[in-house]
Chains A and B, each alone.
Chain A
């Protein structure tokens, strides 16, 4: 499949460089989607998004139109729109490109969503490490305000939208949408229980929609060209294009915009150029950011769309793949993965707070050649319970962990047998 340029029509993914400014954005069809939206009733805009089959790009792939439909439209109080630009999932670097490369596209996308749900206040939640990007967005917000795309009575429509950036202070859990809302409120970023869902009771207890940067990025194009046009890209259940990426042991690590449904093999070998190190074949891939289970070579024909990857026992996630080659040791990789989850757990619920460090301790001991017989069973048992935690963080750790344990069992056992050898 060939690369496409929808979300990236103003961005050179090989070299993001300076952001697309207002003038260039307008010259290239900017705010056409917003104009199209304002010409319709909010409910019609929602319907178009629903019809487009757009699914959330934050990792879970939840249908965006459906998510929006839970917002009570007859609610007269304040409703909020939030953009999730936390992007701290290891191996994921797509939102960065969209944020730094084309801030107006994000602003326009949020404006369309805000109008569709009649939300008059919005925040762009940005991780602290992207603070330079936040400054670029601030500049773009100023341009948008000056040109009447934000503020009061936007383009004479009578609709007001106030949008600003909000810098976080760093924690992976802030990406989880309810933890994000707590963080936005100035609280500790522990997740909240659902129900109530944010659409009903979110930011400050008001109806709130949280969407990913890339999800918003799709909206101007859907509105400008229509749902039918959009659905022609991608697969039946995974419409549209996706910013995909590859990092790790590939010759050509970078991002591409591709229709959903491209094969994993094509991504690895054609786009990313195959193994980076000569003589070391690819032996495993994490398909969509660190929290998705590993796929091995005989699964590389899997198509990169939500349902196909799920069928293969993993998840499309962020569609940014992490590639391991034969020279990589999967025990050490697992140690690194579990170290990350241990460090980033919010500490709220038991299996995550206690179980992950325990597993890490065991994996770490194994890498130090201090593994013991029985560790495999113990790790598998502790890992099994990670699916019943308060939020999706620990299940995210469970995916790569259990798949590594299962698919590279031999490597673990070898290390355990080598006890005392290090």
Chain B
């Protein structure tokens, strides 16, 4: 550990650690040092020259004007920010920067959160003293997310340091020189990084702004915000969704030092536009007509009670949602309990098994679960069985930091993703074969002849040797491909790699924002069991919570067929979709960013999210709606003082922590109570079935595969059109060529343009998961 030292800043004694960046040490002590180019995540550049102060090594040594960002704190240092010479210099720097600034503040979309404006006022550069023409630049089209306004640039180089050096994007750069330095792309075009939106936050002025937000611009101080948690993947980045009156306007990342810290991905930043989806449900319906919500709740409750009375509780079932809050799923579970019904959380058995196994590993406390900041410090990374960029984008950004710091990155999966371009070693295998390669790594013994190919042996050997010298190894494993074999292999590898002197961390990428919460629900029924009961006509009433069954790959995807077997169906959701359209009763609820509750992220970290109170009964959270349903059944007694640990498989301590959890907390990880029962299942999941010599592999895309971000907004625009991919060798043997429309309807139920991909394992057909559903505009909105 670094030694604690003392420095003096404007007479104030500040404690810091030796070698800490001097500017950061001041900021940590709450002392504002004006700066632009320094950024906690990006480090110093020394370009803006604004952080100047008089600095001396000790009180008896002469002071010099220094850039605080370029110095390391040392014991006894004396820093004078308010020295008149330093103040004069900083004012001069601002004056220099403002010489060419357009002064378009009244119409600037950075207004109110502009660091340049703050610094200008801070340094008291108030009056313009230049009389010369200003330079101007042409802006570029950078795609649907980020707007470019180069005239506002102050050349702090943060954008390129972020985009190129930090996020490793390769389609952005710095051009020109002298007093014409330009930041952008070589030519107009969509920014290719999944993390491009962070340009908006790293830019201290308004060069890069949120293109969606600026379309219907509000002054930031007119926005209302509450701290929330991103719903678009299982990482759980902290965010500040902002509303003007009752409309959603934008999302910015919110700092949580144990989760996302400074940044977030574009899917999360722009994926919240579903809040404004035109198909927003605002009225309740019961068997046709629109009715007041209380009316629908009352009739639904009556109907459920009647069915329970007639057919017994076994005739009632509910489908919960891995993207609904712990509270909403708990309320649904309690509703079922009070009626004697059952609840099912997952799409299919394979997913359920994989998610529940990964959850058990995550919350058992046996292994170290890596947070994002811990991932950045890993000195060895192994990614198993998925595409990190598409499945947990911010994990990708963290792994890039580990890679930048020199960690070898190993990837084993059927198809190369973006992270593969930074990997040390990438191995392509057929789906499911990840585990057999890793099993051999595990055994540490020479695999029997022929068990592994030469390529696989080389990968395994390189992996073993890199793992051997690592102090902070990390295994990242996908659960989205519903392969429990892969989950187990990753677990065993991390477990075996953990020794006395080092622990191997592990992290699973889960399918949804609250998958871990869903997996911990007690008494969850397997989907195929429920489906069989529905098909057999045993289920008479079904309640569906925030789930569009058409898109979740469940046996209920043919909603019409499934619902036709059920006498009464009730859907609770915030927007009209194929499921609500088929339901007998529809209860609207608040969408995520207008809702409050808790999620368990991939670490099992409980995080509470909040919302603004938005008027209108349709905007009560799903949990509240469900509680009123319980109330209407007259069973609120049954719920009484129910604790989270009654509903979820968590320890009483976790329950206490969960109840005490407040919005804005760093969050705490829940612990498993007892053992999560995981059904014995075959090692091979459904996908490994071979048709026509090909195994299907789902491509999980950052833009396209996540349901909510596909409902509305620019993230939908960024999703590709359907396609299929084959390894060139497979295409050749089938006489198929790049770009042609290939007919795989017999085996895989699709016809789509073919892409050849040499970075796809042979014998695999890769199919993007595209959760597109034509938005259904409710009648009352159309009118």
Contacts and interface: CB of A to CB of B under 8 A. Distances in A.
A–B in direct contact per CB < 8 Å? yes
Contacts of B65: 388
A354 B135 CA distance: 11
Contact of B99 (A188, A354, A365, A372): A354
Contact of A390 (B49, B100, B131, B180): B49
B47 A350 contact: yes
A392 to B, nearest CB: 14
Interface string A19-60: 000000000000000000000000000000000000000000
A128 interface: no
B48 A358 contact: no
A343 interface: yes
Interface string B329-347: 0000000000000000000
Given A193-B70, A342-B179, A347-B181, A390 B92 contact: no
A353 B92 contact: no
A236 to B, nearest CB: 27
B89 A353 contact: no
Residue with the greatest number of chain B CB neighbours at <10 A, chosen from A345, A353, A365: A353
Nearest to B36: A350
Given A347-B155, A349-B48, A358 B96 contact: yes
A248 interface: no
Interface string A340-357: 001111111111011101
A335 to B, nearest CB: 14
Interface in B49-104: 49-50, 52, 65, 67, 70, 89, 92-93, 95-97, 99-100
A350 B99 contact: no
A385 interface: yes
Given A171-B177, A342-B179, A354 B100 contact: yes
A361 interface: yes
A53 B89 CA distance: 38
A379 B157 CA distance: 27
Given A350-B47, A388-B49, A388-B52, A343 B178 contact: yes
Given A193-B70, A350-B48, A350-B49, A355 B96 contact: yes
A350 B178 contact: no
B128 to A, nearest CB: 12
B130 interface: yes
Nearest to A389: B49
Contact of B179 (A353, A372, A382, A389): A353
Interface string B87-126: 0010011011101100000000000000000000000000
Residue with the greatest number of chain B CB neighbours at <10 A, chosen from A346, A349, A350, A385: A350
Contacts of B130: 358, 361
A351 B178 contact: no
B46 interface: yes
A350 B155 contact: yes
B122 to A, nearest CB: 16
Interface in A267-309: none
A357 B179 contact: yes
Interface in B127-163: 129-132, 154-155, 157
Interface in B180-196: 180-181
Contacts of A171: 177
Given A171-B177, A389-B49, A350 B93 contact: yes
Contact of B89 (A188, A378, A388): A388
A381 interface: yes
Nearest to B94: A350
Interface in A315-355: 342-351, 353-355
A349 B178 contact: no
A349 B46 contact: yes
B448 interface: no
B92 A347 contact: no
B178 A346 contact: yes
Nearest to B86: A388
Residue with the greatest number of chain A CB neighbours at <10 A, chosen from B50, B174, B178: B178
A353 B47 CA distance: 10
A351 B50 CA distance: 10
Contacts, number: 83
A361 to B, nearest CB: 4
Residue with the greatest number of chain B CB neighbours at <10 A, chosen from A344, A385, A389: A385
A117 to B, nearest CB: 28
B99 A358 contact: yes
B179 A193 contact: no
A351 B179 contact: no
Contacts of A381: 92
Given A351-B93, A361-B132, A388-B65, A193 B46 contact: yes
Interface residues of B, number: 32
B99 A390 contact: no
Contacts of A358: 96, 99, 130, 132
B178 A342 contact: yes
Interface residues of A, number: 29
A357 B92 CA distance: 14
A172 to B, nearest CB: 11
B11 interface: no
A382 to B, nearest CB: 7
Given A347-B155, A385-B89, A388-B89, A353 B181 contact: yes
B450 interface: no
B289 interface: no
Contact of B129 (A346, A351, A365, A378): A378
B155 to A, nearest CB: 6
A209 B407 CA distance: 30
A350 B34 CA distance: 14
Contact of A351 (B44, B92, B100): B92
A365 B132 CA distance: 9
Interface in A355-410: 355, 357-358, 361, 365, 372, 378, 381-382, 384-385, 388-390
A74 B92 CA distance: 46
A372 B92 CA distance: 20
Interface string B249-264: 0000000000000000
Given A345-B178, A354-B97, A390 B155 contact: no
Contacts of A345: 177-179
Contacts of A188: 174, 177
A385 B90 CA distance: 9
Contacts of B46: 193, 349, 390
A349 B157 CA distance: 10
Nearest to B129: A378
Contacts of A382: 92, 95-96
Nearest to A374: B129
A350 B97 contact: yes
Nearest to B65: A388
A390 B47 contact: yes
B640 interface: no
A158 B345 CA distance: 75
A390 B180 CA distance: 18
Interface string B647-662: 0000000000000000
B615 interface: no
Contacts of B89: 385, 388
A349 B67 CA distance: 12
A187 to B, nearest CB: 11
Contacts of B93: 350-351, 385
A228 to B, nearest CB: 38
Contacts of A390: 46-47, 49
A231 B176 CA distance: 46
Contacts of A372: 131
Across the A-B interface, the 9 shortest Cβ-Cβ residue pairs:
A354-B96, A347-B181, A385-B92, A361-B132, A347-B177, A345-B178, A357-B179, A350-B49, A347-B178
Interface of A: 171, 188, 193, 342-351, 353-355, 357-358, 361, 365, 372, 378, 381-382, 384-385, 388-390
5 contacts: A193-B70, A345-B179, A349-B46, A357-B99, A390-B46
Interface of B: 44, 46-50, 52, 65, 67, 70, 89, 92-93, 95-97, 99-100, 129-132, 154-155, 157, 174, 176-181
